[in-house]
Chains A and B, each alone.
With several copies, the nearest count.
Chain A
């Protein structure tokens, strides 16, 4: 098995392109999405992306604010208690982003179908609602019978819906720990990351920690994403900031509000990108941008004890540099 560690710049350069279908996260708005990967997508100016989002997060909010999202299939487009996602909301209301609505359970089911090689999944979810009848992709037909067409259960005769399975071209998935081959451990709910890692054609991992493979051999039942479905691994501390990574850091409430406020306008978005996207290139510089004091504060989480069993296998920055072979 080969060493798959690459830099964030390399990962975005190799695994993203204009017009791609990109799935992210498999996480909730305040949960473990690959926000750092999104920042780099914005920096490299990826455009016209078809997003497969379980939920919106600050990552998709940022990319949409920057005008990079052509289309998005999503279960929840807000930021939970942080309110509406202003960047995305602006893009949708102006018609820049076409938003196709599903539900929080619907997207994981569609990814499950894609992972299984099924062309569709049967569903009662979204059925009998405007999530089935209204389609932003086919706006001129209402009620629409093609987005979630009817299918008859051959055993009971009940008519239910069929949802199209999803096989995104690329997914970036945040995990707590990965080894250099791509074996991954997630702490906290895995939300839809398991099925996403199998449904996507290419998978890039963004990890809080790089750990030795011995950690995986001690806890193989925790390795829900095995190396064989992973194409690249990026080490990026605080990669979910300003949201939280269970066990590692809490969400930055102040920055969540601040970021969302700036994304409300085009000028604010430019300002945000200058300050928090273009202002660094290495993980070390990224931590400086957040600020040492803030990082230390956020990394004191009531969930820290969850990482304790694995600490002895965590690689130091110096060890990781060596594993990166001078990249």
Chain B
């Protein structure tokens, strides 16, 4: 079958959603994966954006932002950020979500704030120096990390992005692992999977360290280990992820009208 790695990643992410869940998506890949799931196998999934836009589907192409007119044209309700991010997400009410990551570590902590020159990261030098590259900050991902019952992290699988420890925790995963989330009283459960363009990592139930759960037909255990910046453990039951079915591809492409995922 002919499909791109990004399409496989979107479908693998979509498979993590179950029917009936209350879910929040961001723009771009996350929204494609979510709307694919809704169309494909989760017709009763209820999705909203952090903009406080409810009941709508994109009109005229994928939105440029979560308050873009493309997502506002057929909404049934507009409220606000305190409602969407506070009352529905950070409060612990949302079942499932997707966030992105520029950098991620073995405990599922996500950095979307900045990249520091090696050795100058705040946690290494005990002070806050300027980042070499300023990224975008957490946006609403911190609320998802804190509050969603579970959520999926999507990231491009590269060694420099998959670090032993992130430069800056923008959105906390399991922090230092184990029970560490408990210390902070978070209502949410933490990340349930990291879906990449090479495979899927999942957290160990006790240590919360992410291990390799499965790979794609076009990747391999070795390739994934090579592209991971920490000493990645591999599940004894590591398996290949089923390729997209025809129906899945059809549904994904119906959502990805402009073919943005096919390009790469």
* Chain A interface residues (CB < 8 Å from chain B): 1-2, 26-32, 54-55, 74-82, 84, 88-89, 92-93, 95, 99, 101, 103-106, 108-109, 112, 115-117, 124-131, 133-136, 138-144, 153, 158-160, 181, 183, 187-195, 198, 213, 216-217, 220-221, 223-228, 244, 246, 250-251, 253, 256, 301-303
The answer to the question of B155 belonging to the interface, with a C-beta cut-off of 8 Å to chain A, is no
> A77 contacts B48, CB within 8 Å?
no
The one of B48, B127, B147 that contacts A228, using a Cβ cutoff of 8 Å: B48
Taking CB atoms, residues of chain A closer than 8 Å to B62 are 81
- A105 to B85 CA separation, bound complex (whole angstroms): 6
- Beyond the given pairs A105-B86, A192-B82, 15 more chain A to chain B contacts, judged by CB atoms under 8 angstroms and listed by A's residue number, are A80-B65, A80-B66, A81-B27, A81-B28, A84-B136, A103-B85, A105-B142, A106-B142, A108-B80, A116-B90, A130-B170, A138-B128, A139-B129, A140-B127, A191-B67
Taking CB atoms, residues of chain B closer than 8 Å to A101 are 113, 137-138, 170
- A150 to B6 CA separation, bound complex (whole angstroms): 42
Give B109's nearest chain A residue, CB to CB.
A129
> B59 contacts A302, CB within 8 Å?
yes
> A115 contacts B81, CB within 8 Å?
no
Give A198's nearest chain B residue, CB to CB.
B87
Give A99's nearest chain B residue, CB to CB.
B134
Q: How many pairs of A and B residues are in contact by the CB < 8 Å rule?
A: 302
Q: Can you list 30 A-B contacts with CB-CB less than 8 angstroms, sorted by A residue number?
A: A1-B44, A28-B65, A30-B65, A77-B136, A80-B68, A81-B27, A81-B62, A103-B139, A105-B50, A116-B87, A117-B87, A117-B147, A124-B147, A124-B185, A125-B142, A128-B186, A129-B171, A133-B169, A140-B127, A142-B122, A158-B185, A188-B53, A188-B67, A190-B52, A198-B88, A224-B79, A225-B77, A228-B22, A251-B68, A303-B73
The answer to the question of B203 belonging to the interface, with a C-beta cut-off of 8 Å to chain A, is no
Give A30's nearest chain B residue, CB to CB.
B65
The one of B72, B78, B137 that contacts A78, using a Cβ cutoff of 8 Å: B137
Taking CB atoms, residues of chain B closer than 8 Å to A302 are 59-60, 69-70, 73
The answer to the question of B140 belonging to the interface, with a C-beta cut-off of 8 Å to chain A, is yes
Kindly provide the distance from the CB of A175 to the nearest chain B CB, expressed in whole angstroms.
Answer: 13
Taking CB atoms, residues of chain B closer than 8 Å to A1 are 44, 46, 55
Query: Which 6 pairs from chain A and chain B are nearest by CB?
Result: A30-B65, A117-B91, A78-B136, A31-B67, A105-B85, A128-B184
The answer to the question of B206 belonging to the interface, with a C-beta cut-off of 8 Å to chain A, is no
Taking CB atoms, residues of chain B closer than 8 Å to A82 are 64-65
The answer to the question of B123 belonging to the interface, with a C-beta cut-off of 8 Å to chain A, is yes
The contact string, 1 if C-beta is below 8 Å from chain A, for chain B 166-194, is 00111110010000110111110000000
> B69 contacts A244, CB within 8 Å?
yes
The answer to the question of B1 belonging to the interface, with a C-beta cut-off of 8 Å to chain A, is no
Taking CB atoms, residues of chain A closer than 8 Å to B172 are 128-129
Most buried by B among A27, A130, A187: A130
Taking CB atoms, residues of chain A closer than 8 Å to B137 are 74-78, 101, 103
The one of B27, B113, B185 that contacts A130, using a Cβ cutoff of 8 Å: B113
> A108 contacts B92, CB within 8 Å?
no
Most buried by A among B28, B74, B78, B123: B78
Taking CB atoms, residues of chain A closer than 8 Å to B75 are 217, 220
The one of B77, B81, B135 that contacts A226, using a Cβ cutoff of 8 Å: B77
The one of B126, B168, B183 that contacts A128, using a Cβ cutoff of 8 Å: B183
> B51 contacts A28, CB within 8 Å?
yes
- A262 to B109 CA separation, bound complex (whole angstroms): 34
- A144 to B123 CA separation, bound complex (whole angstroms): 11
The answer to the question of B210 belonging to the interface, with a C-beta cut-off of 8 Å to chain A, is no
Kindly provide the distance from the CB of B125 to the nearest chain A CB, expressed in whole angstroms.
Answer: 8
